[in-house]
Each structure stands twice: as C-alpha cells, then as structure tokens.
Structure 1
Amino acid sequence: MKKKSIVIVDDHLLFAQSLESLITKLEEYEVLAILKNGKELTQYYMHKRKVPDLILLDVKMPVMDGIQTMQWLKENRPEQKVLALTMEDDEDTIIKMLRNGAKGYLLKDIHPENFEFAMKMVIEQGFYYSGKIENALRNSENVDDSGDFHERLTEKERGFLKHACSELTYRDIAEEMGLSPKTIENYREAVFKKLEVKTRVGLVIYCMKNKLIKID
C-alpha cells in the first residue's frame, strides 16, 4: 500500500515531533519532513524534493508565517493541499488562510481520531469542515443546490455577502458600501438568518461550498 505523504511546518519542535510520532503510527501515512517556517518550505520545493500529499501548516511562525506561506503556495503551488493546524481561532486569521487556499483548519487540541479523519478528508475529498464550521453549516445541508436560496437575498445583501467573504472588517465594508455600521450589522444578521449560518467563517465556507462567491 502506497502511503500518503505529509510535511509538517511548525516552529514548535516538540509539538512537531509529537505530531510526527502520531502520524507514523498510522499505517496509511508517512512524514517526509519537519520544517520550522514557510521559508524552509519554499527551500524544500526549490530542492525539488517529493511533493507531499498534504502539508500541515502552523499559522504563527517566525520568518514566514502561515498566511504568508499560503500566499506563496497560492502563487507557486496552487494544487498543493494544506491543512492549517494552529492555536489561532479568530475569524480574520481563518478567513485569510481559507482565501489563500487552505483546505481546512484544525486547532491543536483536536482529538487524534478527528485529526486522522481531517487528513483523510482533505487528501481524498479536497476539504475538511471542522466542528466550528460544521455547526455553522449544519442547517444548510438540506438547502436546494439549485441556487434558489441565493435569490432570497436582496441586491444589497448580495453586495454585503461579497464583501463579507473578503478580508475587510465590518467597518471597512460599511465605508466601501457607503453605509452606516448599523446598516451593515442589519445586513449581516439578515444574511446569516437567510443562509442559516452563525459566524462569518461559516458564511465564507458556505459560499465556497455552494460556489456563491469566487474566492480569489
């Protein structure tokens, strides 16, 4: 059986080595390398080493962090599958990672069984919806995929939806649309209710999943 290959990019050596030990105990996987930051990953590619089936990428790292690394991969290795593995769970960070091509994200305190499942999902199906995202999307699974649900949004709400899937803050969105922050808050609540999501991250994933918004 051909093993699926993994590269770990994390500056916390003890954690990375523990992760390697966990992965090597799984018969289906092998770890090709442990790298300390995105710069080392770019050098890994420059030396034409084996392209991994999956990269496990930390977000907070010196020299070249996770977001910078995803931007480089998006430009140079867009086909590379990446799963963010981090302690950072704020919406802005997650959205930036997703917009730059990460196929999912995990918090480092994830249960080993869920971790294995996440790797399998990204490698085989191209994306992993974490518990946080699954909760946000749970009620959307029964929505008709024809796109009729999108028609329930007003023109202004669709405009808000497009901006909400960007890296703009809500205040920036208000300025961009020439509206008050209170009006943007009302649009947010209306869109969340109509699409049955609970967070901005859930909204971004929902739009990616249903191809409502092209994530550049």
Structure 2
Amino acid sequence: MKKKTVVIVDDHLLFAQSLESLITKLDGYEVLAILKNGKELTQYYLHKRRKPDLILLDVKMPVMDGVQTMTWLKEHQTEQKVLVLTMEDDEETIIKMLRAGARGYLLKDIHPENFEFAMKMVIEQGFYYSSKIQSALQYSDQPEKEVTRDLAEKLTEREWTFLKYACSELTYKDIAGEMELSPKTVENYRESVFKKLQVRTRVGLVIYCMKNNFFKL
C-alpha cells in the first residue's frame, strides 16, 4: 500500500521530531521532511522535491510564519493540502489561516488518535476542524446544498453584505465603517446572521461559508 506523505513545518525541533516519531509509527504514513519555517518550505518546492499529501504547519515561526506561508502556498501550490497544528487559538489567527487556504486547524494538545483522524480526513475528504473549532458550528448534518438553499434564502441583502465583510479580516468596527452603520446596528446584523445560519462565532461563520461556497474567500 502506498504510504501517505507528510512534511512538517515547525521551528520547535523537539516537538517536530516527536511528531515525526508519532507519524512514522502510524500505519501507512511517511514523513518526507522537517522544515523550520515557510522559507525552507518554499525552497523545498523550488528544488522540486517530492510533493507531500499533507503539510503540517505551525503559525508562529521566524523568517516566514504560518500566515505568510499559507499565502505563498495559495498562490504557488493551490492544490496543496495543509493542516495547521499550533498553540494559537485566537479568532483572528484562525480566520487568517482558513482564508489563506488551510484545510484544517488543530491545537497541539490534541489526542494522538484524533490527530491521526484529522490527517486522514484532510487527505481524503479535504477538510477537518477540531472539536473546539467545530463547536463554533451548530447546524446539523443536513446535506450542504439543502443548508445553503434553505438558510441563504433567509438572508436580506444587507445581511449578505455583512456576511461578506465578516469573512474578511476587517474588525467589526471596520465593517461598521464600510457599511456606514453604527457599531450597534452591525452587532444586530451579526446576531441575526449567526441565528439564521446557526453558528456561534465568527470563526464558525467563515467555516460555514467555506464549506458552502457562498463566495470566494
């Protein structure tokens, strides 16, 4: 059976080596390389080394961090599947990484069994979100096309405008300025959209829009 290949990009060498040891013990996986930052990853591609099935990418790194790396990958390696593995759990960072094309987002304290499942899901299905990130979503297992059709029709034109801005890197204050509304009115739009789309947080909103292809992020 052909092994699934992984490249680890993390500047913490001890963690990266421990992660490599864990992955190589799993059935059907092979680590092609451990790289310290995004710059080393770009060089990896430029030297036309073997393209991995999955990249495990940290966020906080010197020289070229996770966000910069994802931006480069989105432009130069558009089909590359990336699973973020980090300690950063703030909403702004998560949204930036998802918008840049990350297929999943994990915190480093994840259980090894869940970690293996996450890798499998990203490689085979295209997306995976940890329970902490997934908890931002409330909607059921209703088929996505039905969810999109039934719920999207409930949004007003102004709510669609808010939704597009909410999936950007703008703050809620910035969104109020763009929509020429008071922060309180934007807050009302936020609560209305959250309720209609059955999500709990802005991260959940971004994930929802990605999965249902509402617009290109």
TM (norm. structure 2) is 0.96
The 5-angstrom pairing of residues 14-93 of structure 1 reads 14-93=14-93
What stretches of structure 2 of length at least 5 have no aligned partner?
none
How many angstroms does 1:208 deviate by? 1.0
Separation in structure 2 between the aligned mates of residue 211 and residue 142 of structure 1, nearest angstrom: 16
RMSD of equivalent CA atoms? 1.1
What stretches of structure 1 of length at least 5 have no aligned partner?
none
- Residue 183 of structure 1: which of 160, 182, 185 is its match? 185
Report the number of matched residues: 215
Amino acid at match of 1:101: G
Q: Point out the more displaced range, 83-92 or 141-150.
A: 141-150
The 5-angstrom pairing of residues 66-215 of structure 1 reads 66-142=66-142, 144-145=146-147, 147-215=149-217
How many angstroms does 1:171 deviate by? 0.7
* Per-residue Cα deviation, 1:96-115 (whole angstroms, up to 9, x for no partner): 11111100110000000000
Amino acid at match of 1:199: T
Percent of matched pairs sharing the same residue: 79
How many angstroms does 1:7 deviate by? 0.2
TM (norm. structure 1) is 0.96
Secondary structure at the aligned position of 1:72 is classed as helix
Given that 2:106 and 2:129 are in contact with CA atoms closer than 8 Å, whether structure 1 keeps it comes out as: no
How many angstroms does 1:147 deviate by? 1.0
Instruction: Detail structure 1 runs of 4+ shifted over 6 Å in the superposition.
Output: none
